[in-house]
Structure 1
Amino acid sequence: MLDSLGNNFLALLPEYVLTIVGVIIMLLEPVLPASRSRKSLGWLAIFGGVAATCISLWQLHLGIMNAFHDSIRVDSYSIFFQVIIGLVVVATLLTSLDFLDRKESHAGEYYALVCFGAVGMMLMCCSTELLMVFIGLEISSISTYIMAGFRKGQATGTESSLKYFLLGSFATAFFLYGIALTFGATGSTNLTVVAQAMTQTQTPILAVLAVAMIIIGIGFKVSAAPFHVWTPDVYQGAPAPVVGMMSTAPKAAAFAVLLRILFSGYAMLQPRWQILMAIISVLSMCIGNLGALMQRDVKRMLAYSSIAHAGYLIAAFTALPTDGIAAAAFYSAAYAAMNVGAFIVISLVTGYQERLRTGEDYTGLALRHPVLGAALTFFLLSMIGIPFTGGFFGKFYVFTAVMHTGHVNLAIIGLLNSGVACFYYLRLIVRLYTAPATAEFADYALGSQTGPALLQRPTGYFTTPTSTRVPSYVALAAAVGATLLLGIAPGRVLTMAQVAAIATAPAGVATDNTVSDPAALH
């Protein structure tokens, strides 16, 4: 039996590693010559991300660990989301090595911020004390606020960072009010105590208001409608690798927190918050997909797409506890793989200046870069939910869990929205494989580097060099492999998601409610 000190140390060992690596990077960055590349600091950050992920997996063998007076709980549930965050961080850092390899990019600071942001996200996943969740949320948010505006020379970057900060601070206030009302209603901010208090008293109005405030605060972090107004502008102005991370890792952490709060802490209020979550799910799916239909900018299109995907995932909150938690966990993993992969392709194609923005700018991309075109097509098909991709099983699992509780109408709305999404995803895919309209464009798209085609092409038309960048392509291959694996052999991840669901589901809930045996879903 581990003593209290040892338990506290082991429970937060991944966070300790990332913190130490981030501090070392901050100390080394100023002493390096200004002319020297900061890639070595990037590799140090990658080492920290890989080490933290491996330690999280190793913690599975230690069993459930309660640390710091039951404010931290490390179990299969927290580890599932921590591994997702760790893998996303490593993929982001690999992509950023070449993307930020320029004098004005301040890459050293960026690598430290990624590590500190990951610390906050992982802390959110394993916290059962709402004040600890708030601390983790702030650590994560401050890092992402800065990274969103990392291209200081561009007005859109400054706008992105400022808008994200102002609206994020406003949403954080709602979350903090929810914590205060939780304490007023139950006398504690520890979720275990909150759950016990809710079974011993009549439902007070304070508890209902607390849940509403918490949902509003977290709803902003996951860009769910109607708390989504910041998303398109921030996605458009932030660097592509940052968008790939902030659209997946912070969302996974926020959903991990919301699942634990609602299904564990406020399980007794499920009939009430379930209605609110169903409304938010429908709004997110409809607003996200309809908004994406009208976008010409690819990053703004994917921003509205992320709102719609948040709606699909939120639908899982209307299911039975073990079904809903497992479905949401699996969908988080699938969405992380395909969305990070899409933004890796965008990073490789557009470069630091990101001159290629609209769908028209991507016309003929697959002719010049068949690998990148095929990879982006694969990720877009996964977002649609085509079989043999992770997106298909993610939606299948969520909608099946929803239907098991009798919410057939919600599942139908989700399926209809998936049909609407086909239009804007397929529109971009068609452009990838369409030859440019003029002969000059066609010559350049096919690889011509000399002659009239090079002189007459418009500024920004595939002007960013996309020579072999090994770290970025390693991250891209990993994203493709993960999306494909979750689509053709989801059994192992489904099993892990179901075990995670059982670990955090409210006591007394039957564990045989799961959608089906994972092996049967192959």
Structure 2
Amino acid sequence: MNTVAPILRILPEVVLTITGILIMLAEPMLAPKASRKPLGWLAVAGTLVALGASHYQCKLAPGTAFFNTIQTDAFSSFFHVTIAGIVLVSLLVALDSTNEHTPFLGEYFALVVFGAVGMMLMTSASELLVVFIGLEISSISTYILAGFRRKSAKAPESSIKYFLLGSFATAFFLYGIALTFGATGTTTISGIAQGLTTSQTPALALVGSAMILIGLGFKVSAAPFQVWTPDVYEGAPSPVVGLMSTAPKAAAFAVLLRVLYGAFPALHANWVPLIWIIAALSMTIGNLGALRQVNVKRMLAYSSIAHAGYLLVAFTALSADGIAAASFYALSYAAMNVGIFAVVSHAGGYEDRLTEIEDYRGLAYRSPLLGGAMGFFLISLIGIPFTGGFFGKFYVFSAAIHSGFVWLAVIGLLNSGIAAYYYLRVLATVYNRPYAAVTAPPLPRAKVSLLIALFLTVATTLILGIAPGRILSQAKAGALTLLPTQTTEAPSQGQ
């Protein structure tokens, strides 16, 4: 009998909710001209506690709570830790790039932690309506954060475009839930899988699963649902882009894995070809689009589309190895992408003074720390050995090949070659000598928060590149929870 208190199943969410409430209560008590930076450190402290709570959940016996709407297992714990780590680094980057006079800074930190609550709720939900609630909590926060720089002309465009297209995608997701309920009589993930075996209207469930895939495809900026990504990334503050390009994506991918493998395994013959097409389109459109960019944030936006395609390759494997590869890639991409945005945020500041790739010419000479960190993240994004990006792509393509999808792996490898060009172009710019006739603006002094953020992201990317075994075993243990027929392997894989 499971005697774990229900509150422990949502402990990280509770911690972050309390943290956000404390920030909102404390902010009006400060003097109008007083610094709001202490509220950021309060958010960091709360996120650290939530990270500890997520790690504690790894030791809990798998189980459900709140009328079987929340499920805690190795899979949800893996993504809880991932999201908490991303939020922690994003808060540290924001503390570095903002100053005492940045408007509405208290609200900024509160929105970040509230958004994290929704993301974590998504990864542990075993009921589609709870997934929808978590998705809306996360989305509302990121809609506001995208337009946080109100004095920037691009910020309102970024926020409105993200909101309108996000609402459109949410409607698809909700209609998909409604059609699935009509076909199976339930909205619980395990119940849908059982209901499909006796459903009298399987075509309705097929349409419902397709709509759910469209809704989540928008959240992970996979093609052909990626049109919002470059404009939103360009207009949003860099610390926000570092967060929204990683944490919400990790949560959406976790939901997609749980829904496809947990709710619709009987329809895999239908959704695998769709995933194949979306993955190939995302890799190709993302990389070809990035080749033409001169704005560093737009280039990274197209890069994120391509990486969503790489990750989707693992979905076609239909095995524990595929799920583990997708989970591992989500973590490795998060580490290197939030790390490179930490560099962009510090170099350009909250107002994004350095927007063009050419603005980073000679960065390695002006600041060896920033230049070295940016170069390391770029080679990891390429997939050079001894970095997390290398093993991420290796596991993803290996899972696809072992499942017989050789051509999809070939498309992925060709796209990796295309991506190497524009990443190396930025790397060459960073290590080129600056023009003698051009006086580059001085870089701000790195604060302790930035040093911590860079250390965490570099260390994570390096560990995933030279000793990935333990993380991969945790991802494999989480994968086995989505495949009930293979649960007998779980004890050995979890060690």
Q: Residue 218 of structure 1: which of 206, 216, 226 is its match?
A: 216
Cα distance in 1 between the residues matched to 2:5 and 2:249: 28
Q: How does 1:67-466 map to 2 (within 5 A)?
A: 67-201=65-199, 204-437=202-435, 439-441=436-438, 457=439, 461-463=440-442, 465-466=443-444
Paired AA for residue 255 in structure 1:
F
Alpha-carbon distance, 1:203 to partner: 6.4
Q: Contact 2:477/2:494 (CA < 8 Å) preserved in 1?
A: no
SS at match of 1:229: coil
Task: Tell me the TM-score normalized by structure 1.
Answer: 0.92
SS at match of 2:71: strand
Cα distance in 2 between the residues matched to 1:325 and 1:509: 13
Paired AA for residue 440 in structure 1:
A
CA shift digits 1:31-50 (9 cap, x unpaired): 20121111110111011111
Paired AA for residue 473 in structure 2:
T
Q: Tell me which residue corresponds to 1:454.
A: none
Paired AA for residue 196 in structure 2:
M
Q: Tell me which residue corresponds to 1:486.
A: 464
Cα distance in 1 between the residues matched to 2:102 and 2:402: 54
Q: Contact 1:494/1:518 (CA < 8 Å) preserved in 2?
A: no
Cα distance in 2 between the residues matched to 1:361 and 1:33: 38
Change in 2 beyond 3 A, CA 1:62/1:240: same
Cα distance in 2 between the residues matched to 1:182 and 1:518: 33
Cα distance in 1 between the residues matched to 2:396 and 2:95: 36
Gaps of 5+ in 1: 442-456
Q: Tell me which residue corresponds to 1:453.
A: none
SS at match of 2:226: coil
CA shift digits 1:264-292 (9 cap, x unpaired): 11000001100000000000000000000
Paired AA for residue 294 in structure 1:
R
Q: Residue 467 of structure 1: which of 414, 439, 445 is its match?
A: 445
Cα distance in 1 between the residues matched to 2:319 and 2:257: 9
Paired AA for residue 462 in structure 1:
P
Cα distance in 2 between the residues matched to 1:473 and 1:338: 15
Gaps of 5+ in 2: none
Q: Contact 2:314/2:397 (CA < 8 Å) preserved in 1?
A: yes
Paired AA for residue 461 in structure 2:
T
Alpha-carbon distance, 1:102 to partner: 3.4
Paired AA for residue 145 in structure 1:
Y
Paired AA for residue 503 in structure 1:
T
Count of aligned pairs between the two proteins: 494
Cα distance in 2 between the residues matched to 1:326 and 1:237: 34
Q: Residue 508 of structure 1: which of 480, 485, 494 is its match?
A: 485
Paired AA for residue 69 in structure 2:
S
Change in 2 beyond 3 A, CA 1:313/1:81: same
Change in 2 beyond 3 A, CA 1:26/1:510: closer
SS at match of 2:350: coil
Cα distance in 2 between the residues matched to 1:511 and 1:378: 40
SS at match of 1:295: coil
Paired AA for residue 158 in structure 2:
S
Cα distance in 2 between the residues matched to 1:26 and 1:255: 30
Paired AA for residue 15 in structure 1:
E
Does 465-474 or 224-233 show the bigger shift? 465-474
Change in 2 beyond 3 A, CA 1:336/1:387: same
Q: Tell me which residue corresponds to 1:444.
A: none
Cα distance in 2 between the residues matched to 1:170 and 1:13: 32
Q: Contact 2:34/2:100 (CA < 8 Å) preserved in 1?
A: no
CA shift digits 1:208-258 (9 cap, x unpaired): 101110000000000000000000001011111110110000000000000
Cα distance in 1 between the residues matched to 2:103 and 2:337: 24
SS at match of 1:73: strand
